[in-house]
A and B are shown apart, each in its own frame.
Chain A
């Protein structure tokens, strides 16, 4: 029973990282109907920036902030230079961002620490375990990350559904021409959403790089997992991404313990099953 709970908790912390990455992807897709394949690149780059800043300054939060800002800024540049003109052509956006991912992989491999494992350092006081009922000792950093993911998820949902900016964003998605006719600068809204989504990937990179080592090739892995998460949860839905991330995280952790060889295969089997039953994902809207 203890072990069962421990695996479940591990699965949920993994899910927290997956959720942070995938929420950015689903936000961008939900509002702009484009998929950015450079999302995994944002994850790894954010992790590296966070690693450098945290190592030099000794401040984890500064690292996380810089990681998110750097990737958000890169997102704006990519959006303005490469994507904006083709925003209605989702296939071309996907392919162009795949090209960006290809370049990103190669350039990050060329970094001095790019070909080995690195981990974002955390403050001493967070490296202690806490005692949890039923589970026993559990690293406090993992609990904090789980909490952070919850906060981000709730904040995002509230931001989109309850604030004025959020309603402008939703209006821009439904009918960007009408929205701009009411005096809203839709271009800036889209650029901001893209920046926010990218920044989430960068933040997730710092968080993920704290829990697990950052490795070359992880950009591809996390792109893939965030794709699976949004497919399972339903593209464009933040709560859907949370459900998808929880399912993917739990399945992969339990599979890792009980059927290690087939852990990845089982994770993807989950996606296949969801697709067979509900092609639009668990909370996805059917596109008209």
Chain B
């Protein structure tokens, strides 16, 4: 079912137009993203509300997609881990008065360690259990954060968390965040293509076989969850400097669902697609309010429609269309000539949402 997933596309298929010239696409996207502050009419609105927010939503969702695609685990704790990193920054700067860079380093560590602890609890469980347990763990942190007044200042949260020079300028901040997003993306790609990533995919597809080959399956899973937690923590730190404060809303159920929506709309098998999903969500968030009060309903409907008709998300639509065209074409040629060959069996589109088949 996921025969070709592990290998780079060029090894399995003959080089297509996209795999040959795809880098041009990336350059264009990056150039557009870099020039974003100059392209919009009101940078003071677009940069924080769409630009920066899409980037941190995307980074956190990317950690979810990484886990889903390469480990086959759908985690709903990624927003919580990001929130822990965000609370870390808040606690270390506001409560303890540490300088910014130290606080950021400690917060990254806190988020990653939190991810490690989540992994210790949840890595033994599979598929739907993992989903439920990460959801529950996220809600534990939410309830704790809204009550533990001495650490998190309960519902009022920790503020102010100002940005320091030179990032007080919103364009500078945006570029720095963009750089972080690109680095995170490359890091995820690098890890996925490393021998570690290949082992992860092996474990995703057949844990028993990998265990028989001598791999410590659980340790690999824990390591992968911890790595994803690190990526999510980066997103959380950007989040806290974007909002200038941190309160329990950051880790609420609806924020958790936001991340899931971003990942699913963008394409839950695609590391880059999440940013498309994030842009769509932030646009919906900012502009749907102009014509309807029920923006959540709209988001939910889009979410369900994507799941029903394009489970590979926006990133997978191209492939889906191509497959449909191929099928139509092969049907037509079948009708023209005598049928020579079975048309390629339709790949189940549900493949994008990796079924946890490690039972």
9-residue interface stretch from B8-16, B126-134, B233-241, B323-331 = B126-134
Determine which of A82, A103, A224, A228 lies in contact with B296 in the assembled complex, contact meaning CB atoms within 8 Å: A103
Q: Which of B219-227, B273-281, B300-308 contacts A (4 or more CB under 8 A)?
A: B300-308
Name A82-117 residues within 8 Å CB distance of B: 82, 86, 89-92, 94-96, 98-100, 102-103, 105-107, 110
B143 near A102 (CB under 8 angstroms)?
Answer: no
Q: Does B49 have its Cβ within 8 Å of any Cβ on chain A? A: no
Per the bound structure, the CA–CA distance linking A185 and B300 in Å amounts to 33
The verdict on B26 contacting chain A, using a C-beta distance below 8 Å, is no
- B interface, CB within 8 angstroms of A: 74, 121, 124-125, 127-129, 131-133, 135-137, 139-140, 143-144, 147-148, 253-254, 257, 260-261, 264, 293-297, 299-301, 303-304, 307-308, 311, 350, 353-356, 359
Sample 19 A-B pairs with CB under 8 A, ordered by A number. A89-B353, A90-B127, A91-B131, A95-B264, A95-B303, A99-B303, A99-B304, A102-B300, A107-B297, A224-B135, A224-B136, A224-B139, A262-B144, A264-B139, A268-B137, A268-B139, A269-B140, A275-B121, A288-B359
Given contacts A95-B260, A100-B300, contact A275 B359 (CB under 8 A): no
Contact A103-B356, Cβ < 8 Å, known A220-B253, A227-B135: no
Q: Which residues of chain B are near A57, meaning CB under 8 Å?
A: none
What is the size, in residues, of chain A's interface with B at 8 Å between Cβ atoms?
Answer: 38
Choose among B137, B261, B296 the residue with the greatest number of A CB atoms under 10 Å from its CB.
B296
Q: Which residue of chain A lies nearest to B263 when distances are taken between CB atoms in the complex?
A: A95
**A106 in contact with B300 given A92-B307, A92-B353, A95-B260 (CB within 8 Å):** yes
Chain B contact surface mostly: helix
Instruction: State in angstroms the CA–CA spacing of A30 and B35 once bound together.
Output: 54
CA distance A96 to B353 in the complex (A): 12
Residues 234-278 of A, flagged 1 when their CB comes within 8 A of B and 0 if not, give: 010000000000000000000000000110110011011001100
Evaluate contact between A82 and B308: CB separation under 8 angstroms.
Answer: yes
- Are A90's CB and B128's CB within 8 A? yes
Residues from chain B with Cβ under 8 Å of A235 in the complex: 129
User: Which positions 169-228 of chain A face chain B at CB distance < 8 Å?
Assistant: 220, 224, 227-228
> In the complex, are the beta carbons of B350 and A86 less than 8 A apart?
yes
Which residues of chain A are near B129, meaning CB under 8 Å?
231, 235, 279
Output the nearest chain A residue to B68 by Cβ-Cβ distance.
A91
Instruction: Give the nearest-CB partner of B154 in chain A.
Output: A261
Contact A96 B128 (CB under 8 A): no
Top-6 shortest CB links A-B = A106-B296, A103-B300, A102-B300, A264-B143, A99-B304, A268-B140
The listed residue with most A CB atoms (<10 A of its CB), out of B136, B261, B293, B301, is: B136
Q: Are A94 and B121 in contact (CB under 8 A)?
A: no
CA distance A106 to B298 in the complex (A): 10
A35 lies within 8 A of chain B by Cβ? yes
Minimum distance in angstroms from A25 CB to a CB of chain B: 10
Query: Is there contact, CB below 8 Å, between A91 and B355?
Result: yes
CB pair A261 B148 closer than 8 Å: yes
Smallest Cβ-Cβ distance to B74: which chain A residue: A91
| B300 x A92 contact (CB < 8 A) | no
Contact A103 B297 (CB under 8 A): yes
Q: B297 touching A106 by the CB < 8 A rule?
A: yes
**Minimum distance in angstroms from A280 CB to a CB of chain B:** 9
Tell me, yes or no, whether A3 is within 8 Å of chain B by CB: no
**How far is the CB of A101 from the nearest CB of chain B, in Å?**
8
Q: A231-B132, A275-B121 are in contact. Are A96 and B140 (CB under 8 A)?
A: no
Contact assessment for A272 and B135 in the assembled complex, using a CB-CB cutoff below 8 Å: no
**What is the chain A residue whose CB lies nearest that of B121?**
A272
What residues of chain A lie closer than 8 Å to B127, measured between beta carbons? 90-91
In the bound complex, do residue A94 and residue B131 qualify as a contact, i.e. CB atoms below 8 Å apart? yes
Are the C-beta atoms of B257 and A94 separated by less than 8 Å? Answer: no
Chain B nearest Cβ from A46, distance in angstroms:
20
Q: Nearest residue in B to A217 (C-beta to C-beta)?
A: B253
Say how far B73's CB is from chain A's closest CB, in angstroms. Answer: 10
Instruction: Please determine whether B124 and A90 come into contact, CB atoms closer than 8 angstroms.
Output: no
A111 to B311, CA, bound (A): 32
Question: Which residues of chain A are near B261, meaning CB under 8 Å?
Answer: 102
Query: Can you name 13 extra interface pairs (CB under 8 A) apart from A95-B353, A99-B307, A262-B147?
Result: A82-B308, A95-B307, A99-B304, A100-B304, A102-B254, A103-B297, A227-B132, A231-B136, A264-B143, A264-B144, A265-B143, A268-B137, A272-B137
Bound-state CA distance A261–B140 (Å) is 12
A269 to B294, CA, bound (A): 36
Please tell me if A124 contacts chain B, counting CB pairs below 8 Å.
no
Cβ contact within 8 Å between A90 and B139 = no
Measured CB to CB, the closest approach of chain B to A50, in angstroms, equals 23
Interface residue from A98, A107, A224, A287 paired with B257 (Cβ < 8 Å): A98
Question: Which residues from B are CB-within-8-Å of A287?
Answer: 359
Q: How many Å lie between the Cα of A139 and that of B243 in the bound state?
A: 48
Task: Point out the residue from B144, B294, B300 that lies within 8 Å of A99, measured CB to CB.
Answer: B300
Complex Cα gap A190–B133 (Å): 26
B128 touches A231 (CB 8 A): no
Closest A residue to B351 by beta carbon equals A89
In the bound complex, residues from chain A placing their C-beta under 8 Å from that of B135 are: 224, 227
